Every structure is written in C-alpha cells, then in structure tokens.
Amino acid sequence: MKKDNKAVIYWLLTGCILIFIMVIVGGITRLTHSGLSISNYKLISGTIPPMNDLEWQEAFELYKQYPEYQKLNNHFTLEDFKDIYFWEWIHRVIGRFIGLVFILPFLYFLIRKQLTKATIKKSIILLIMGGFQGFLGWYMVKSGLVDRPDVSHFRLAAHLTTAFLTFAYTFWVALDLMFPNKKSIDKKLRNFIRIGLVVLVLQIIYGAFVAGLDAGWIHNHWPFMNEGKLMHETVYTEHTPTYLNFVEGKSGVQFVHRTLAYVVVIFVLAIYYKAKKTTLTPLQNKGVNGLMIMVGVQFLLGVLTILLAVPVWLGVAHQVGAFVLLSLMTFTLHRFSK
C-alpha cells in the first residue's frame, strides 16, 4: 500500500479540526470562568461525569474546598456549579479524545507501514507536543487551586499557545503530504513571512495574557485606551517596575496586545504587497488574499470585543479569528517555502 496516502492526510486534518474545536471549547471555558470547576485530575475515570445526586454533591463539596468557591463563588448553588462543570468536563473529554485520535491511527499506520520515515518522525513530534499540551493544562489548573481563585496567566498563555502551535504543525505536516512538490521561491519573501508568523504567535501569546488577567474588561474604548488617552497613567501602575506592567499589569498587557494588532496588520499588508509583485501560483494567490481578508476581520473582531467588554460569543469569535489567521499564515508560508 502506498505510503503517506490519503488516509494519512485525512487523519492529520481530522486532528486539526479536533484541535480547532478544543480551542473553541477552551475559550468558552475561560470566558465563563469554568476552568477550576473540576479540581481533581483523573485521566481515565474523570471521563465520566457525576451520574447521580450523590456524586454531584460530592463533586460540589470538593469544589468548595478551593479558593475559587471560597473567595468568589460562595453564593453558588449546585445548579450553578453544574453549569461551569459542564464546560470544563467537555474540554477535558475532547482533549482525551484528541489523544486517542492521534495515537491509535498512528499505531495502525505504523504497523501497516503506511508512513515514510520523515512522516514517522514528524508524527512522533506531534505526539510529544500533544502530551505536553495536556501536561500544561494540568499545570495551569494547578495554579488556581492553591491560594488564588484564578489560574496563572503565564501558564494559560503556555497552554493556549501550545495548542495553536500543535495545530499549526499538524496542518504543516498534512500540507507536506498534500503538496509534496514546491516551487523555487524568493527567500527574502519567505523569510519575511516567517517573521510575520512569529509576530502573530507573539500576538496570540498576549491575547492569552489579556484573557488570563481579565484585561479585556477595562479600557473599553477605541482607538484610545481611555477617552483621549493612550498610555501614561493608563498603562503604568504605581510602584511596579516598568517592564512588569507589560507582562503582569492589566493595562500594560492590553496596551501591548493593541499595539501588536497594528503590527500584525502592517506585516500582512507588506506580505500582500511583496507577494503581488511576483508571479504567484493559484494557491499562493489564495493564501495572500485570504490573509488580507482575515486580518481585517480579526482586527474588527478585536475592536468590537474591547468596545463591548468581552461578551462570551464575541470573545470566542475573536479567538477563532486568531486560529483562522494562524491557519492562513501557515498555509501561505508553506506555499512560499522551498
């Protein structure tokens, strides 16, 4: 049987779709503040939710022992608890399902010798990235179970960014199999797209900082952070080292996220302009056109998310927009890679 066949491509693309769904559910989990509802980690038995009143009450009593209930949600009833439990449970179940979808077909293809050596190496990297992503999820939740009723925004950013990067690499491996032949291209343009990808990933990291610090609920104005003010006292917090304001302060983090949005737009415009000056294949043309359209949509979603103070549906849409933009940047880079 032919190696790296269509079944292998479908397997990888299925993984991409599942990671996409995982990110959506993760965004809802974060925006509904549901991520600390399941305080004990059970890899196998945790797949089954409470099935009767006694089990629900036991889960609720366990939740009451941790800071989120004691400091924020001590008014919660059992029904309130069930609402937040659902999103965290479905998030974890999808994560386990993704693990099975990656591991079982990989073993099947490996046994049937349907993978080339290069694809085997790439698949092993994907499995390691997926396992690390799961570990980071546990590590993130752990930070909210000690003395603070929220997770570390640094750990949240690591968890989210790893999910995005795992998707991007999975997509890249699938593209390698779908388009094995690549044309010779302008190395300067390819490297410029690479820099654009790095800037976009940095923007995604700062988006996670904003989410982790709940920084989107302040400075709900645009284009200035306050009416008529962009930085100064808006960004800096008294008695805090300057650099920490840009990684730990709500105002500073939001300021960087806003600024990087303009930088991403500028990079995409430059990529579009440089690419259009060369002879493009149909797929390259679709890639740069898609980037132009999506960066405008994503920028608009970001502005509306701030102005409307992060309603759940819009916050999720903005996160999905980042996902789609990363997909298009990955696709475009692949089409311009040698």
Mean per-residue pLDDT pooled into runs of 10, the chain (338 residues) = 80 94 90 81 73 88 86 85 88 90 93 91 93 87 79 89 95 91 76 95 95 90 73 54 83 93 96 90 93 96 94 92 96 89
What is the model's pLDDT at position 43? 67
What is the model's pLDDT at position 303? 95
CA–CA dist 235, 217 (Å, integer): 14
Q: What's the pTM value of the predicted model, to 2 decimals?
A: 0.90
What is the model's pLDDT at position 233? 47
What is the model's pLDDT at position 232? 44
Q: For residue 310, how far is the Cα from the chain centroid?
A: 17
CB atoms inside a 10 Å sphere around CB 94: 18
Block residue for tokens 């696709």: 331
CB atoms inside a 10 Å sphere around CB 251: 21
CA–CA dist 158, 168 (Å, integer): 15
The neighbouring-strand residues paired with 229 are: 226
Cβ–Cβ under 8 Å, residues 3 and 115: yes
Cβ–Cβ under 8 Å, residues 205 and 161: yes
DSSP per-residue codes, 284-332: HHHHHHHHHHHHHHHHHHHHHHHHTT--HHHHHHHHHHHHHHHHHHHHH
Block residue for tokens 């009723």: 149
What is the model's pLDDT at position 231? 46
CA–CA dist 93, 1 (Å, integer): 34
Which two three-digit tokens encode residue 226?
């306050």
Q: Which residues of 168-189 are buried (b: 16+ CB within 10 A; e: fewer)?
A: bebbbbbbbbeeeeeeebeeee
Put residue 33 in one of left, alpha, beta given phi > 0 → left and psi -120 to 50 → alpha. Answer: left
What is the model's pLDDT at position 322? 95
What is the model's pLDDT at position 261? 96
Residue-range domain boundaries for the chain: 1-180, 183-338
Using only C-alpha atoms, the chain has a radius of gyration, in whole angstroms, of: 22
